[in-house]
Amino acid sequence: MSSSLSPGVWLDGVLPVNAALGSGTVLIGDDAFKRFQSKRDSALVVGMNCTLDGVQLATGTGGHIEIGDYCHLSSTILLAEVSLRIGSYVIIGWNTTIADCDFHPMDPALRIEDAIACYTLSQGRTRPPALTAPIDIGDNVFIGPCVAILKGVRIGERAFIEPGSVVTRDVPARARVLGNPARIVGEEA
């Protein structure tokens, strides 16, 4: 981020102290930080000249989100318990969710504990742990609308994720993927 240019802005509020938007970056939406709980010093780092329109940034206390330069995200939910990295020149379509965590345990008995802990009046009960794994999205990636990208996935540069896909495993560079679960159906030029 260049210090000679003015920093980015959140049009609907004051940025948390552990969030940084690069010059020319615009964040739009009342709910952007509604579930942003990270205590890390640099919990959110966004590069220059990005548009984050209607993006929800949900983090756990140790979560970190990094977004490169010249990205456009529209009505996207980014969920980070550990780490979510998005490269530069990435376009993400509306109603896409990217989550580095299951957020709820798989074990039925632990799900009961989790449901009780999530109850609004639970008086500070601790939630049981859920599985987590970082997500890494390379440069110049297109992610269509209504996509789900799940924990531990790496998406190579210039990949193309078709609308409605559910990405559960790594996507090679320049691959075009489609479906639930997403599978390779072609290659980008």
Radius of gyration, alpha carbons of the chain = 17
Which strands sit side by side in the sheet containing 166-167, from one edge to the other?
56-59, 77-80, 97-99, 148-149, 166-167
146 in Cβ contact with 155 (< 8 Å): no
Q: Is 72 a catalytic residue?
A: no
Q: Which of 72, 104, 111, 174 is catalytic?
A: 104
Q: Judge residue 81's burial from the number of C-beta atoms within 10 Å of its C-beta, 0-12 exposed, 13-18 middle, 19 or more buried.
A: buried
Element (H, E) at 98: strand 97-99
What six digits make up the tokens of 155? 């998406």
> CA–CA separation, 146 vs 106, rounded Å?
24
> CA–CA separation, 168 vs 154, rounded Å?
10
> CA–CA separation, 154 vs 136, rounded Å?
5
> Which residues are catalytically annotated?
104
